[in-house]
Structure 1
């Protein structure tokens, strides 16, 4: 980082004092110092508008304080040393209130030359700090601008990977909502038709949130494409094991070395058999199944994906009663509920879902967060899968 040349603007109506200050500055230890002079306030204003100076030294004749105050404002936030002839305390305070960095009596410049030089060197140090701060601020602003552009690009990529917010395929209607706590989300959903009768769907929640977690959702999207390829063309009795699919995702995630793990609920509805196949990879809360029997949590458990070399994933098959609704949440929803314990929160979620059957995810979110104020601490994902 290179700082601005150590330029001084000296404003005074007396060349005698200018020469005296020149001689003193030549004795200073400040390297590469260049001094520019001005004999009028008008000329000084022009020079301040056209150049950057490390230090402004200005002599204020009696009755001209307002001109000095204007120069101080023009040079702000740079340091200004003001010289006054026989100053009163009120004049000194006026200059300090206007933003002067230091004030000297003109007569003390020669009599206290060492004190004057020490003040000059101190103000130069101050100027260097200001310029360093400006440099770092500009660097930071540039970095933030580049980061914002990167995040916007990543946001559009992630949104384009998501399914449509409302899907109607194979007699299954799916709707979802993703509410990231930051610009990007670590929650991800997908709904993919396999053939005329079968639909695969999942909700995944990557640990943490933000850009690093969003990156894993991109990997997950690619990994699950293999699942769909395996399903297509296979008969019902040849369906690949969903727990084996989670095992495969676990192995591939560990191999990437990204240091992230995720929870996931993976389901497959087969309309021809009326069955729901599902596997659980550390997902909580479990999805809710609503039908004529009421609304209840599906059973099952399993280890998170991406933490263990040989995890165990629970896989189950249940017969569906049509019509039905499966409602999935990421665990971010539990963090915004007012209930003190987990059982009470889960029961509250179940009751809201049961009361709002058929409602869109946005309505579920509004009802669940009705008593919550502020920003959610974690991403929130909601998906409903309805068999018609």
Structure 2
């Protein structure tokens, strides 16, 4: 019989004809090949070679602990013990040493052996299937982990340094992902000697699919910047135009993903902040002239509607100012009972001032969160004076 399933029979002496024929008959019907060996050495070699689904064994005179040895060798697959008498002590010892069932030879009623064999074969199949699916799952998880690590590496490479000065403006940010990959993304870059742009985006969902959109977002803004430098388009000079371009291209991908985003354009000569709002919340907090307040504005999320309209505003900046942006993940970790109370906490914390984002994170309790329910991103923009 050519089979990939085996039953190993270990015995120092042949089984009686009735028991042997009953065993062989049911195994043949189940397409399981019966392999017979004598002695512990041959049995262990057969186990290594065949990986049997089930083992039947009689006590071996050479080894009183044989049943425990073979049970441990083939577990979790079943072992059925044969013996010449039904002494209670022998039965209990066999079960304690790992036997799944016990039969006294010769077997007067072979149908009981047949039932046991079928039951043990079914158990062996369940064990084999479970092992197969576990191996498949482990392989899938290993592949997923490799993909996640590769994605994280790419995402980290796309992010700017945590603190940079561009055109006399200091940009400092931190991102605390809820998963290995983040759906929050931050970027800032120089357009000209007087203009610089920044944005904070929060992509819907979590994990790899959201992180993939951050790659698209980075490529889109890089392309708009290249077009400006070549003189082929000037969309980069308008935050709302940037939002419209991102909206169109994101819809064209057909990924079914959308994002909220705040885009700001800083003019060092005019001392202004021009910005566009694509459904971003909470709104950034501007601290200057001794007070702190949320910027005005609203707008549709990006990537949901073909005809989306985006709110564009402009504000004048004092010599000393601090603009603080958060993704909506910050609201998830605040204990206040309602949204208004949470916004007040953000406003009051920003108004007190902070030395750096680490100080701000400590004040808001972000540093005490081991596993955030949502990605948390924070960006601070200030003038170097």
Give the structure-1-normalised TM-score. Answer: 0.91
Distance 2:222 2:316 in 1: 26
Distance 1:327 1:4 in 2: 69
**Native 8 Å contact 1:81 1:101 kept in 2:** yes
Alignment match, 1:184: 181
**Would the alpha carbon gap of residues 303 and 42 (structure 1) be closer, same or farther in structure 2, given more than 3 Å must change?**
same
**Native 8 Å contact 2:237 2:265 kept in 1:** no
| Divergent runs of 4+, >6 A | none
Count of equivalent residues: 380
**Native 8 Å contact 2:3 2:31 kept in 1:** no
Alignment match, 1:352: 349
Match of 1:383 among 375, 379, 382: 379
Give the 3-state SS of the residue equivalent to 2:131 in structure 1.
helix
Give the 3-state SS of the residue equivalent to 1:27 in structure 2.
helix
The structural deviation recorded for 1:370 is 5.8
**Native 8 Å contact 1:338 1:371 kept in 2:** no
Match of 2:165 among 165, 168, 182: 168
Written as runs of structure 1 = structure 2, the 5 A alignment for 1:171-320 is: 171-229=168-226, 232=229, 240-320=237-317
Moved more, 252-261 or 87-96: 87-96
Distance 1:53 1:7 in 2: 5
Distance 1:341 1:10 in 2: 71
Distance 2:154 2:178 in 1: 18
Summarize deviations over 1:176-235 as a string: whole Å, max 9, x none.
11111111111000001011111100000001110010111111111112443465588x
The structural deviation recorded for 1:166 is 1.1
Alignment match, 2:338: 341
**Would the alpha carbon gap of residues 315 and 156 (structure 1) be closer, same or farther in structure 2, given more than 3 Å must change?**
same
Alignment match, 1:325: 322
Structure 1 gap ranges (5+): none
The structural deviation recorded for 1:142 is 1.4
**Would the alpha carbon gap of residues 338 and 159 (structure 1) be closer, same or farther in structure 2, given more than 3 Å must change?**
same
The structural deviation recorded for 1:84 is 2.5
**Would the alpha carbon gap of residues 304 and 187 (structure 1) be closer, same or farther in structure 2, given more than 3 Å must change?**
same
Structure 2 gap ranges (5+): none
Summarize deviations over 1:72-100 as a string: whole Å, max 9, x none.
11110111111123223343233323332
**Would the alpha carbon gap of residues 27 and 78 (structure 1) be closer, same or farther in structure 2, given more than 3 Å must change?**
same
Give the 3-state SS of the residue equivalent to 2:70 in structure 1.
helix
**Native 8 Å contact 2:85 2:105 kept in 1:** yes
Alignment match, 1:34: 33
Distance 1:370 1:180 in 2: 12
Distance 2:378 2:241 in 1: 25
1:23 aligns with 2:21: yes
Distance 2:235 2:249 in 1: 23
